[in-house]
């Protein structure tokens, strides 16, 4: 984390994993407020496990994750294939779920939440297809709805799990551009698991690189340069 | 048409049975939607069986306690209700705890529960022929004459179920759809799972007591499956499931009464016919 950046999260001696087996152990790092990080690494290296632990979905096996704000909100964007197509929600209904944390039992959404949702859908250019069944939307459209849902939670931190997986190059590029815009214009703090090195180099300033149980934290230009990637994987890249 | 007018008449001898069937037909599918969407259909067949084991236990209690005749003053129906409800609630709590531990296959647990419940019912009633006859009638879905008290009990149970669904249905849907999102919003999925299971347990208990386990399962599952083929939104899914269930209860009762058939199998056959039509004429 750059020295002049105010921290949002302190992670200390964190071990994450499933059951009794830690996938990653003794991690310590800080995430700055308004920072934009990509979590990079090979398949099965523990990227998603780390993201889910920061989100509070998995309990840390050891260590602590401490937020510097009093009531940290998490806007979580899951892998879109994890959502069961049997549910007949429209895109708008899925996005509305972002306000469920504040909704009063038995009541409709507050007017302010409805207005905010419409604003978000507009910002994310999702108004046009929000009334369609969620399962019938394209991959990119689904991601926009899920990002709207995450932003509706009023998050301190936006967490995304492989948002471009399965998207065509154009949709993936447009999604990275959108996230970059959210980071720049809305000062959103973003942490995203991704495999897309090219787009990460283009749009994301910082990276957490998970490699052989260790975590490297630094600038994307340094950590994800073709030479460094070659070093990390022990291969020569063209 | 005369038969329909007869069974809908306030003077009809079995009117309470008709009203309870319609209530079961209207409300059970709403809970069944959660089972279908969560892909927990086996739970819908195992729980009614457990509920009927509770009824068998209540009916055979005096024999199990070493008496020839009932040792309690409470009516058989009340005992059966208490037996049905307590067995079902214990089963849902045990299932929720096992779910939390996450060991073994869900299907394996539910399949075992189903077969053990059936075996226990038969064993408990083996020395009590009269109770066994009543239980088998319930199992076959024979028409049962219900009192005004049964109707009131069923109505109260369903009002409670519907009120909880109205207040917290949104959270129950969120937890069913996206547990991880629910956790990040500060919801506790296991608590909400338990709420859903308790609603299911209550609905199944009152349903099994009045219409038997077969029809209880049928009304839980077939209307949602049918509605899912034609609905294009969650609202439509809930509305259509409930309508199909309620309508089938009336029409099934009408056909059964007119042709002197057991109500349960008639209702289920009618529901299956509607389902078949939607399978043939829809693409989903």
pLDDT category at B282 given cuts 50, 70, 90 is confident
Q: What percent of chain A has pLDDT over 70?
A: 95
Return d(Cα A237, Cα A227) in angstroms, integer: 7
Q: Check A88 against B181: CB less than 8 A apart.
A: no
More confident residue, A106 or A128: A128
Q: Check A86 against B36: CB less than 8 A apart.
A: yes
pLDDT over threshold 70, residue B71: no
Q: What is the DSSP letter of A90?
A: B
pLDDT at residue A44 in the model: 85
pLDDT category at B174 given cuts 50, 70, 90 is very high
Beta strands in chain A (DSSP E): 7-18, 21-32, 36-41, 62-67, 74-77, 157-161, 190-193, 206-211, 214-219
Among A107-111, A145-149, A232-236, B145-149, the range of highest mean pLDDT: A145-149
Among A57-66, A189-198, B141-150, B155-164, the range scoring the smallest mean pLDDT is B141-150
Q: Are B24 and B207 in contact (CB under 8 A)?
A: yes
Return d(Cα B90, Cα A233) in angstroms, integer: 54
Min Cα–Cα distance to chain B from A5, Å: 25
More confident residue, A29 or B68: A29
More confident residue, A222 or A174: A174
Q: Give first-to-last CA distance, chain A, whole Å.
A: 30
pLDDT over threshold 50, residue A237: no
Min Cα–Cα distance to chain B from A150, Å: 9
Q: Are B232 and B202 in contact (CB under 8 A)?
A: no
pLDDT at residue A96 in the model: 95
pLDDT over threshold 50, residue A238: no
- Chain B contact for A19 (CB, 8 A cutoff): no
Min Cα–Cα distance to chain B from A55, Å: 6
Number of Cβ atoms within 10 Å of the Cβ of B78? 15
Q: Check B39 against A86: CB less than 8 A apart.
A: yes
Show the tokens assigned to A199.
């787009």
pLDDT category at A132 given cuts 50, 70, 90 is very high
pLDDT at residue B210 in the model: 81
For residue A101, the chain B residues in CB contact (below 8 A) are: 185-187
For residue A103, the chain B residues in CB contact (below 8 A) are: 170
- Chain B contact for A134 (CB, 8 A cutoff): no
For residue B184, the chain A residues in CB contact (below 8 A) are: 55-57, 74-76, 153
Q: What is the DSSP letter of A194?
A: -
pLDDT at residue A229 in the model: 74
* Bridge partners, A14 (sequence order): A27
pLDDT category at B6 given cuts 50, 70, 90 is confident
pLDDT at residue A65 in the model: 94
A-B C-beta contacts closer than 8 Å: 69
Going by their DSSP bridges, the two strands A214-219 and A206-211 should be labelled as antiparallel
Q: What percent of chain A has pLDDT over 90?
A: 56
pLDDT over threshold 80, residue A47: yes
pLDDT over threshold 80, residue B70: no
Structure confidence by residue, pLDDT tens digits, B204-247: 988 888 888 888 899 999 999 999 999 999 999 999 999 999 99
Structure confidence by residue, pLDDT tens digits, A57-105: 999 999 999 998 877 789 999 988 889 999 999 999 999 999 998 888 8
pLDDT over threshold 90, residue A21: no
Select from B206, B210, B213, B255 the least CA-distant residue to B16: B210
Q: Is A109 helix (H, G, I), strand (E, B) or coil?
A: coil
pTM: 0.87
User: Across chain B, what does the average pLDDT equal?
Assistant: 87
pLDDT at residue B117 in the model: 92
pLDDT category at B59 given cuts 50, 70, 90 is confident
- Chain B contact for A105 (CB, 8 A cutoff): yes
pLDDT at residue B4 in the model: 75
pLDDT over threshold 50, residue B132: yes
pLDDT over threshold 80, residue B141: no
Min Cα–Cα distance to chain B from A44, Å: 20
Could you tell me the CA-to-CA distances from B240 to A207, B173, B220 in Å, in that order? 50, 17, 13
């Amino acid at each position: 984390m750059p020295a002049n950046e105010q921290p949002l999260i302190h992670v200390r001696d964190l071990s994450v994993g499933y059951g009794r087996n830690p996938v990653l152990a003794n991690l310590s790092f800080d995430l700055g407020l308004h920072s934009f990080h990509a979590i990079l690494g090979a398949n099965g290296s523990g990227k998603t496990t780390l993201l889910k632990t920061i989100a509070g979905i998995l309990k840390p096996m050891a260590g602590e994750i401490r937020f510097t704000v009093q009531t940290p909100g998490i806007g979580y964007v899951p892998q879109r294939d994890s959502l069961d197509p049997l549910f007949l929600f429209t895109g708008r209904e899925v996005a509305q779920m972002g306000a469920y944390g504040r909704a009063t039992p038995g009541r409709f959404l507050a007017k302010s939440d409805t207005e905010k949702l419409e604003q978000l859908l507009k910002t994310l250019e999702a108004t046009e297809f929000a009334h369609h069944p969620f399962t019938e939307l394209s991959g990119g459209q689904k991601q926009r709805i899920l990002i709207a849902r995450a932003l509706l939670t009023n998050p301190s931190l936006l967490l995304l799990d492989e948002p471009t997986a399965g998207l065509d190059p154009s949709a993936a590029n447009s999604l990275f551009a959108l996230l970059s815009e959210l980071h720049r214009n809305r000062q959103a703090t973003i942490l995203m698991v991704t495999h897309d090195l090219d787009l990460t180099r283009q749009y994301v300033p910082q990276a957490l690189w998970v490699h052989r149980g260790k975590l490297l934290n630094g600038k994307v230009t340094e950590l994800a340069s073709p030479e460094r990637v070659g070093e990390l994987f022990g291969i020569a890249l063209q | 048409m005369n038969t329909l007018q007869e069974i809908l008449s306030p003077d009809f001898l079995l009117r309470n049975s008709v009203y309870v069937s319609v209530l079961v037909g209207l409300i059970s599918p709403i809970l069944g939607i959660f089972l279908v969407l969560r892909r927990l259909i086996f739970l819908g067949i195992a729980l009614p069986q457990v509920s009927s084991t509770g009824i068998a236990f209540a009916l055979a209690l005096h024999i199990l306690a070493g008496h020839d005749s009932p040792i309690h003053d409470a009516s058989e129906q009340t005992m059966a209700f208490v037996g049905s409800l307590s067995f079902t609630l214990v089963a849902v709590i045990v299932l929720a705890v096992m779910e939390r531990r996450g060991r073994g296959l869900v299907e394996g647990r539910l399949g075992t529960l189903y077969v053990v419940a059936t075996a226990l019912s038969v064993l408990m009633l083996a020395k009590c022929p009269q109770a066994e006859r009543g239980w088998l009638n319930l199992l076959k879905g024979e028409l049962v004459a219900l009192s005004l008290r049964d109707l009131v009990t069923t109505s109260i149970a369903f009002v409670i179920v519907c009120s909880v669904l109205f207040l917290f249905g949104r959270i129950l849907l969120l937890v069913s759809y996206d547990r991880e999102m629910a956790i990040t919003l500060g919801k506790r999925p296991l608590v909400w799972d338990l709420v859903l299971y308790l609603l299911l347990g209550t609905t199944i208990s009152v349903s099994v007591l009045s219409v038997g386990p077969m029809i209880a399962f049928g009304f839980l599952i077939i209307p949602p499956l049918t509605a899912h083929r034609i609905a294009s939104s969650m609202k439509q899914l809930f509305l259509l499931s409930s309508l199909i269930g309620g309508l089938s209860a009336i029409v099934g009762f009408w056909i059964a009464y007119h042709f002197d058939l057991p109500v349960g199998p008639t209702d289920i056959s009618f529901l299956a016919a509607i389902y078949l039509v939607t399978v043939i004429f829809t693409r989903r």
